[in-house]
Amino acid sequence: MSGQRIAVVTGSSSGIGFETSKLLAKSGFYTHATVHKLENEDSHELIDTAKKEKLPLEVTQLDVKSNESVTDTINSIVKKNKRIDVIVNNAGYALGGALEETSMEEIRKQFETNFFGAVRVMQAAIPVMRMQRGGRIINITSLGGRISIPLSTFYHGSKFALEGVSESLQYELAPFGIKIVLIEPGAVGSNFWKSIKIANANSPNSPYAQLASNVTKTFKKMEENAMHPSEVAKTILDAVITDNPHLRYVVGNDASKTLEARKNMSDTEFGNLIKDQFKI
Ligand SMILES: NC(=O)c1ccc[n+]([C@@H]2O[C@H](COP(=O)([O-])OP(=O)(O)OC[C@H]3O[C@@H](n4cnc5c(N)ncnc54)[C@H](OP(=O)(O)O)[C@@H]3O)[C@@H](O)[C@H]2O)c1
């Protein structure tokens, strides 16, 4: 195609979304860096960076939990730019906690953000990509979309669900030249860790208190060894610009080593490894 390529990124105020929006804009994409809340300080940082570096980047509000917010924003982008070449479904967070101690409201919010949020954006953007006969959808899942650790049931559930949907979706979209990519990072240093909530983790009366404490310690170590979000952004850019992207990109040594080891283990062997790690 000729003309400027248009990218839309969700959850751009920090971490992977922030770095990806900047990198896509620096690489020539007119980038709609969408943010959950325009009033957040992080969103201001993105607006200031775009201005200072004169990037082709526009910051717009988009709450992936809201049908109205997603359709309004995607429709206005299509009205203005007439096309969307790249969607990066990045917005997400991790809900932790034991199933019996997690409310349905918390669980729904996790799925509304991590899973239905991406689905909503795809539903809004696919018609224009289909009509233009091309486009790329990058869904950020996780190493946690391939393997699971304790007390993260619904985070894993939401990411496994997005993996399954994406894997099937590739077939219906292939005839229209739309390609789906899954990005599976290991630990990334971002606000993600601050926003993890382990339901009842601090309650000594919880039957899961000891496990929650072990999980919290492991999360701390993972955060200490985490890669910079720009590493993930680089992989996303590669997947966007290559002619024939893979379905999956694993990012980070921790993720690739874990998945390599997992390949050669039975479910029981891998389960025992996780149990050892978390002292179960
Ligand atoms: N960090 C990791 O170790 C890691 C590893 C594997 C995968 N991931 C995945 O990578 C993605 C990005 O995470 P990150 O590490 O960059 O964390 P982050 O810095 O916390 O960024 C998450 C972004 O999602 C946004 N967001 C949350 N709810 C939203 C909503 N309803 N609508 C729109 N935006 C929303 C956040 O905005 P607000 O802060 O304003 O809510 C924030 O901008 C997530 O999908 C996460 O699951 C992260």
Distance from the CA of 208 to the center of ligand 1, in angstroms? 26
| pLDDT value of position 199 | 63
| pLDDT value of position 149 | 97
Q: Give the ligand 1 atom nearest the CA of 189.
A: 1
Q: Whose CA is nearest to atom 43 of ligand 1?
A: 11
| pLDDT value of position 201 | 62
CA–CA dist 267, 264 (Å, integer): 10
| pLDDT value of position 275 | 96
User: Is pTM, for the whole model, over 0.85?
Assistant: yes
Q: Whose CA is nearest to atom 6 of ligand 1?
A: 142
For the chain, count helices (H), then strands (E): 11, 9
Distance from the CA of 61 to the center of ligand 1, in angstroms? 15
Annotated active-site residue 155? The verdict is: yes
Ligand 1 pocket, 251 CB below 6 A? no
Distance from the CA of 76 to the center of ligand 1, in angstroms? 24
List the chain pLDDT tens, one digit each, 280 residues.
558 999 999 999 999 999 999 999 999 999 999 999 999 888 899 999 999 999 999 999 999 999 999 999 999 999 999 999 999 999 999 999 999 999 999 999 999 999 999 999 999 999 999 999 999 999 999 999 999 999 999 999 999 999 999 999 999 999 999 999 999 999 999 999 998 877 666 677 899 999 999 999 999 999 999 999 999 999 999 999 999 999 999 999 999 999 999 999 999 999 999 999 999 9
Query: Do 31 and 84 contact (CB within 8 A), yes or no?
Result: no
Concatenating the DSSP letter of every residue in 171-215 gives HHHGGGTEEEEEEEE--B-STHHHH-EEETTT-TTSTTHHHHHHH
Ligand 1 pocket, 90 CB below 6 A? yes
Ligand 1 pocket, 142 CB below 6 A? yes
Mutate-to-test residue for ligand 1 from 9, 16, 222, highest number of ligand atoms within 8 A of CB: 16
Kindly state the tokens that stand for 212: 């929650």
